[in-house]
Structure 1
Amino acid sequence: MSGTTGHRLVGMNNSPITSLTTSGLLTDKVAFIIGAGRGIGAAAARLFAREGARVLLAARTQDQLKAVTEEIREAGGTADYVVCDLTDPASVRAAVNRSVELYGRLDVAFNNGATGQLPGPMDQLSEADFDHVCAVNLKGPWLAMTAEIAAIRGTAKHGAIVNSSSVGSLMGNPQLPAYGAAKRAANSLTASAAATYGPEGIRVNAIAPGPTLTEMLHEWDEKSPGTIEQLNAQTPLGRPADPEEIAQAAAWLLSDRSSYVTGTVLRVDGGMGA
């Protein structure tokens, strides 16, 4: 966890400069993280705790949540977890409200839950798979934001929300058409929420990661060998992101250091969209 420092520096003409006290990006904030059992969400939970937040992890898989929570606690952070199904409205509301029960309020939320689809043209995707992709990647963030805004409004009064989108939402996505479409629609929800709740002091943004070394990417590469290599060739930085690199962007958007940023979809894509 980031500490605080304060010391004297010497500036021009040997005049003393007293440095400002600094602390973690999220010191004293209560953070709720959906999809926190693995990948970007787990990296975000670890990072947010190091940056001073008290975190509540949510996902469907209890074993994964428990492991990440215990890791954070062993490192000196404050963490707990709750099992949550993004397709179940009651489950989402209960998970968000748990943060208030545990910590007394909610300041920030990172909606990172997602599901992929079988890669391929849209005419080869079943209707059931299309519905599931939309239920998790579009309706899920809507359910989460609705509950989070109520919790922030009722406790901390102001705060910030970040939704996890995808660089695939910002361009044609022939291999993941339903996934890209659902994420693009979530971008619109993000902008609408930012415009609606900004006057109350609630900021809402999204991040659009490029290829990131998560289980989803590895599964895609297994089903379509060479995918990671092809994506690297399309990325100016020439590599996929580590999950913590994406989490760093979310942490900044949730922090007070981005206090004038709302309604944006921030590319974190290694230059893929350049």
Structure 2
Amino acid sequence: MPILIDQTKCANDGLCAKECPMGLITMNDHMPTIAEYAEQRCIACGHCVAVCPHDALSLRNTPLEACPPLKEGWQLTPEQVEQLLKGRRSIRVYKQQDVAREVLLNALDMARYAPTGHNSQSVQWRIIYSGQRVQELVDVVIGWMRKMIEDKSPLANAFGMSGLVRMRELGADPICRNAPHLIIAHAPKDDRIAGSSATIGLSYLELAALPLGLGTCWAGFFQIATSMSLEVAQAIGLPEGHQSFGAMMIGYPQWGHHRIPPRKPLQMSWDAGAN
């Protein structure tokens, strides 16, 4: 069975049965029982392990020791979360200073815990570490834009590609903003949920970067180019059968920010159901 229960530790409180998203654990005679079809349906999400306060459950391929306990006091206050989310800024001016590889790996190690559809965990990461290599890729993107302009593509006008090309000709980097590094989230092309998983993973990366003193910005023009240009897609060197689902600039911000600019008012509606 993919789920193991240590009956000497089990308190028979039924938390694991209530928590399992696949309904693979039931309570029989007040004892948790694993369904016979669990082998085929278990997605190894670990919810049963995480919810048990008695350390009575583990996954067959994941020993309990590989699931560290949450530290006391780990929860942020609402005020701290509000400052974190509202105070985050997209960084477009970076120090020309490399980020140590272990720091980037630390951020990605946190980002990989982002939720994925059906616990697929199919998102992989490619780090363009060399600033020179980032600039080479920027030139490939600009080359694609020139072709779009020549072909009179409607997208060239919609995205202001003529202005972007002109900025590059003047020595600026309108694509990756001279960021020292670029991180690409990729996954198999035929993975139907990879796009959503990658977007969530990049969002986690964006937040994980903040306490490490890093700034990020979504590389939208770069991602559009990788999705539309075979030359750009091949230039980033992804594994066979993979495609980019998002890219993010990352580095040390040139300066900090001190205020929270306003956003549009919240637009929402309630569906309260029948009263």
TM range (shorter): under 0.3
**TM-score for both structures, normalised by structure 1:** 0.27
TM-score by length of 2: 0.26
- Higher helix fraction: Structure 1 or Structure 2? 1
Report which structure shows greater RCO (CA 8 Å, sep ≥6).
2
